[in-house]
A and B are shown apart, each in its own frame.
Chain A
Amino acid sequence: MALLNQTADGAMGAAPPTAEQIADERSGERASWWQTAPLVVVLLLFFGLPMLVVLAVSFFDFSRTEIIPAFILDNYIDLFRSEVTLRLYLSSLKFAAIVWAVTLVLGFNIAYFLVFHVRSLLWQIGLFLVCTVPFLTSNIIRMISWIPFLGRNGIFNQALEGAGITSQPLEFLLFSDFAVIVAYVHLFTLFMVVPIFNSMARIDKSLLEAARDAGAGRFRTVAEIVLPLSKTGIALGSIFVVTLVMGDSFVVRTMSGGQSASVVSALQNEVAALQYPPAAASAVIMVIIVTLMVAGILRLVDVRKELAR
């Protein structure tokens, strides 16, 4: 961060730069390259290289047990010709959109409450930790615990019937899109809460006081001060939630009882049948689409600028 500021200062210097300054700047630049080197190496080795392999395999031919090095476009052609692909993406995007909206509303409100309503720092930290408690158990357990709750003879249905609200068990509660969304929201809301909490906590409280002094009501304050200043957190949270939902197969498979599929669950079926090249093609397309989505979010909010603030 300091480096960034330094170079920024250097660039802003009004006088034309002397030769010495230029040399300084260059060595600073070189130093920052060295500083990023370890991360670059790790990313290249463990992300770049495998991605290249996947890309290469996506053009290969295959038989029942072998992948045959070749350069064919069939895997992509099959993918784009099949209406299943479109349906899978629509279904995954639908889940991503709904879950994003719900977790955003929840996440924003929870973070708002923690930052602006809880005055004592101790309570703030305490309540924040309470939010993370579910994360002490595994994802799978948190998700599966919904099954006995929502089932036909589950606790919720029994309670409804016991209270005389319904006379028949509600079937749509489990093994349905509804169940999938419930599980996603439960699993991913925290990913929204944490970054929003983080950016809200940086908001100078005197800004809010100034707004109130200037006669702004609560909603105007939220809309014109809190919301714009939490943009970074919202963007980061959205990236987490959207990529997690798009990349999921397990939740969709379990909570829909296999009734719904996601892009990744279809890809898994292909891997299980040893059909690596089409699975690789599908993965490549998936990476491109998710990257575009993330790029779109980052375009709306310059996360780097906001973080360096």
Chain B
Amino acid sequence: MTRKASETANKLNRRRLLKGAAAGGAVVATEAITGFPTVWAQNIKDITLVQAGGSYAVIKEIGEQASKDLGFKLTMQAITDDVQLNRTLTQPQTIDINNIDSTKMPYLVGKGVLAPIPVSKYKQWADTVPLFTKNAYPDGRQASSQGLSPAKAMFYEGADAKKLATKPTDFLTFIPTIYNADTLGIRPDLVGGRDKVTTWKDLLDPKFKGKTALVDYAPVGVIDVAMALEARGDFKYGDKGNMTKDEIDKTIKIMIDLKKGGHFRSFWSTFDQSVNLMASGEVVIQSMWSPAVTAVRSRGIDCYYVPLKEGYRGWFVGVAPMAHLSGLKLDCAYEYMNWYNSGWQGGFIAKQGYYSAVPSTARKFLTPEEWDYWYDGKPAAVDIKDPYGTLMEKKGTSRDGGAIWDRMGNIACWNTVMDEDRYLTRRWNEFVSS
């Protein structure tokens, strides 16, 4: 698929070249289509930028394409969350471009390790989905403010980057890149059909006793249970994404009772574990990431990322330059920020099931059939393949949950770090050991 995308790009280039009857190198051609590179310097090829972050976003192919388009070198380092946070705080100079999960912002704000990004420096801001620019859905409704919403994580109050703002300002913490809506994964064949699970409270349904699993990560696991408790009518939370001590206590108490009653089969801590639990039938309903659902399906086992009526748990990540960059390196970093959402990356990750912050550019790097499948939720007109050319979905299937705004337009709570996260960690340890 990678090859296919660049082939189409080449074709376009050739056509443009012929039209203009211009003789020129590949560089000129690339510029003609993407507008890059825009930074010109004698020594630009000596520049290397290191991007670090989670393996779902920091992908080798993206770095290679950027290096090709931009003339300087990108090195991609896929690392785990805690290593990334540690390096960012204690050895910031080892990273140039930080791939930031929104939930890391409360840890990083005011530490002087990230450079604030003036909106004026970022060219695609006007084309970015309103979810990030206005904390609103395209139809004008305000997006959920439970948890760490875009408005709460994406803006600094001022140029000094000391505090996070609660509404849009002119200084971005990071440039939003990819996002998605998470929900529960189910095994339709083992729960009696796709329509048998419709609400979060099914996660706690006694009929799935011994066949459910949660992610072993407190801030997400506890929200998944809170969604279920609220749906079941146990109680209503002020903000599921920022619980009070009392709310944490009440939730953990119910979780401990459930655990002692044998409701949970497992708690998974890696992607592979979640895939294997589902594929082996140990578990029929659980917290899951979208690519894990795909991984189960690719083994020929039906797995469904079920749309639930209470809505999704949303997440978003982005990229930011580090504060230690200056001069040409900083120019290159901005150049890379602007390249990031100019289309190629968006097309690549769309085929992994993630949305681009600037869908209009990503669209140029998707075939119409791919666009219809991934963004519009239409039945696939052709076989759908992942970025590496492996078959993902057969012709005729459609994406769970439908079109982008059917999914992203229905966020109940955002991934988060709670003010009481210290207390939550302690109680979570108690839950796991009970």
Q: Chain A residues in contact with chain B, CB under 8 A?
A: 64-65, 82, 84, 87-88, 91, 147-148, 151-154, 171, 174-175, 253-254, 257-261, 265-266, 269-275
CB contacts (< 8 Å) of B108 on chain A: these are 65
- Report the minimal beta-carbon distance from A170 to chain B, rounded to whole angstroms: 12
Instruction: Report B236-295 residues with CB < 8 Å from chain A CB.
Output: 259, 264-269, 273, 276-277, 280-282
Q: Could you tell me if B282 and A275 are in contact, using CB atoms closer than 8 angstroms? A: no
Q: Among B82, B266, B280, B433, point to the contact of A84 (Cβ < 8 A).
A: B433
Q: Could you tell me if B106 and A175 are in contact, using CB atoms closer than 8 angstroms? A: no
CA distance A91 to B213 in the complex (A): 22
Q: Could you tell me if B82 and A269 are in contact, using CB atoms closer than 8 angstroms? A: no
CB contacts (< 8 Å) of A88 on chain B: these are 433
Using CB atoms, name the residue of chain A closest to B280.
A151
Q: Chain B residues in contact with chain A, CB under 8 A?
A: 81-82, 85-86, 89, 106-108, 111, 210, 213, 216, 218, 259, 264-269, 273, 276-277, 280-282, 421-422, 425-426, 428-430, 432-434
Using CB atoms, name the residue of chain A closest to B424.
A273
CA distance A65 to B425 in the complex (A): 15
* With contact pairs A147-B276, A171-B210 given, residues A258 and B268 touching in the complex (Cβ less than 8 Å): yes
Q: Could you tell me if B266 and A175 are in contact, using CB atoms closer than 8 angstroms? A: yes
Give the dominant DSSP class at B's interface. Answer: helix
- Report the minimal beta-carbon distance from A287 to chain B, rounded to whole angstroms: 20
Q: Could you tell me if B280 and A148 are in contact, using CB atoms closer than 8 angstroms? A: yes
Q: Could you tell me if A258 and B267 are in contact, using CB atoms closer than 8 angstroms? A: yes
Using CB atoms, name the residue of chain A closest to B219.
A273
Q: Could you tell me if A87 and B425 are in contact, using CB atoms closer than 8 angstroms? A: no
CA distance A274 to B422 in the complex (A): 10
Q: Could you tell me if B282 and A261 are in contact, using CB atoms closer than 8 angstroms? A: no
CB contacts (< 8 Å) of B433 on chain A: these are 84, 87-88, 91, 260-261, 266
Using CB atoms, name the residue of chain B closest to A265.
B432
Q: Could you tell me if B425 and A257 are in contact, using CB atoms closer than 8 angstroms? A: no
CB contacts (< 8 Å) of A257 on chain B: these are 213, 265-268, 277, 282
CB contacts (< 8 Å) of A260 on chain B: these are 432-433
CA distance A175 to B213 in the complex (A): 11
Q: Could you tell me if A269 and B429 are in contact, using CB atoms closer than 8 angstroms? A: yes
Q: Could you tell me if A65 and B111 are in contact, using CB atoms closer than 8 angstroms? A: yes
Q: Could you tell me if A258 and B280 are in contact, using CB atoms closer than 8 angstroms? A: no
CB contacts (< 8 Å) of B259 on chain A: these are 259
Q: Could you tell me if A82 and B265 are in contact, using CB atoms closer than 8 angstroms? A: no
| New A-B contacts (5) at CB < 8 Å, excluding given A64-B421, A257-B213 | A65-B89, A261-B429, A266-B429, A273-B218, A274-B85
CA distance A55 to B432 in the complex (A): 27
Using CB atoms, name the residue of chain A closest to B107.
A65
* With contact pairs A88-B433, A174-B282, A266-B433 given, residues A275 and B266 touching in the complex (Cβ less than 8 Å): no
CA distance A175 to B273 in the complex (A): 12
- Report the minimal beta-carbon distance from B280 to chain A, rounded to whole angstroms: 5
CA distance A84 to B218 in the complex (A): 16
CA distance A269 to B221 in the complex (A): 14
CA distance A274 to B433 in the complex (A): 20
Using CB atoms, name the residue of chain B closest to A269.
B429
CA distance A49 to B244 in the complex (A): 40
Using CB atoms, name the residue of chain A closest to B266.
A257
CB contacts (< 8 Å) of A259 on chain B: these are 259, 264, 266-267, 432
Q: Among A82, A269, A274, point to the contact of B107 (Cβ < 8 A).
A: A274
Q: Could you tell me if B430 and A153 are in contact, using CB atoms closer than 8 angstroms? A: no
Q: Specify which of B86, B264, B265 lies most central, judged by the most chain A CB atoms within 10 Å of its CB.
A: B265
CA distance A271 to B266 in the complex (A): 22
- Report the minimal beta-carbon distance from A192 to chain B, rounded to whole angstroms: 28
A-B contact pairs, 21 of them (CB 8 A): A64-B421, A64-B422, A84-B429, A147-B280, A148-B280, A151-B282, A152-B280, A153-B280, A153-B282, A253-B216, A259-B264, A259-B267, A266-B432, A266-B433, A269-B432, A270-B425, A272-B81, A272-B82, A273-B422, A274-B85, A274-B86
CA distance A157 to B422 in the complex (A): 42
Q: Could you tell me if A253 and B428 are in contact, using CB atoms closer than 8 angstroms? A: no
Identify the 8 closest CB pairs spanning chains A and B, nearest first.
A258-B267, A257-B266, A261-B433, A258-B216, A273-B425, A261-B432, A266-B429, A84-B430
- Report the minimal beta-carbon distance from A120 to chain B, rounded to whole angstroms: 44
Using CB atoms, name the residue of chain B closest to A273.
B425
CB contacts (< 8 Å) of B89 on chain A: these are 65
Q: Specify which of A148, A265, A273 lies most central, judged by the most chain B CB atoms within 10 Å of its CB.
A: A273
